[in-house]
Amino acid sequence: MGKGRKKKAFNFQEKDRFMNFQMIEWEKSKGIKFLKKIGIKKNFVLLDFGARIGHYSIPAAFIVGKKGKIYALDKNESALDELKEKSEKLGLKNIEIVKTDGNLQTNFPDNYFDAVLLYDILHFLSKNQRKILFTEIFRILKKNGLVSVYPKHINSDYPMRELENLTIKDIIREIEKFGLDFSKKICDTISHDDSLNYGCVINFKKRSENE
């Protein structure tokens, strides 16, 4: 070894610890502030479609409280197991895990949810699959209910898979065809995978029959 200082080896454990700390802070604090900003309220019944390990389900559960409920739906069983373990450690009793086989049609009743989150999931779905999903979301949402969409992986934000050639305007136009009216776009530092990044979500409200 020469005279110079020994270069510190990149420590993956340290990086993991930091990421972990950052996401715990997100789930217990920053994520709560963000979800309140997009319109999630106490007592809401909310569906987190494609919840994975719950980076949005957990802060949402803190907001909706004991009388509210979060349905965390995913087809990935091990991710849902991790979410279940985390929610038990946090003493959250208002998260119901819904494991599916990937079917986009659900068994929930009509007009059941105050809000649905579609965060970082649309890029997995073809146009026809998205049509099935938006039709289903319209059915299970209450009148004036909220759908919040995080269209990660569109052309301006790490383009990938089914959304790589679409703009945010294309997504808005597509969703509005299903009786869901665009209401606002909210940008902030938000959770993506297991870290934070700058991103924008778009909110829609279910149109009532006479509007």
Asked if 115 interacts with ligand SAM (CB under 6 A), we say no
Given the rule CB under 6 A, which of 19-27, 35-43, 119-127, 180-188 is the region that contacts ligand SAM?
119-127
Given the rule CB under 6 A, which of 25-33, 60-68, 72-80, 105-113 is the region that contacts ligand SAM?
72-80
Asked if 59 interacts with ligand SAM (CB under 6 A), we say no
User: How near is the Cβ of 89 to ligand SAM at its closest, in Å?
Assistant: 18
Asked if 52 interacts with ligand SAM (CB under 6 A), we say yes
Q: How many residues does the chain have?
A: 211
User: How near is the Cβ of 6 to ligand SAM at its closest, in Å?
Assistant: 38
Cα separations in angstroms, 182 against 3, 31, 204: 63, 22, 4
* Identity of the residue, 48 or 114, whose beta carbon is nearer to ligand SAM in the bound complex: 48
User: How near is the Cβ of 56 to ligand SAM at its closest, in Å?
Assistant: 6
The answer to whether 198 and 34 are in contact (CB under 8 A) is: no
Given the rule CB under 6 A, which of 20-28, 75-83, 86-94, 163-171 is the region that contacts ligand SAM?
75-83
- The whole-angstrom separation of Cα 25 and Cα 61 is 15
Residues 6+ apart with CB under 8 A from 6: none
- The whole-angstrom separation of Cα 125 and Cα 161 is 9
- The whole-angstrom separation of Cα 188 and Cα 164 is 21
* Identity of the residue, 45 or 201, whose beta carbon is nearer to ligand SAM in the bound complex: 201
User: How near is the Cβ of 27 to ligand SAM at its closest, in Å?
Assistant: 10
Enumerate residues 148-167 that contact ligand SAM by CB under 6 A.
Answer: none
Q: By the criterion CB under 6 A, which residues form the site for ligand SAM? A: 50-52, 55-56, 74-76, 79, 100, 102, 104, 119-121, 124, 191
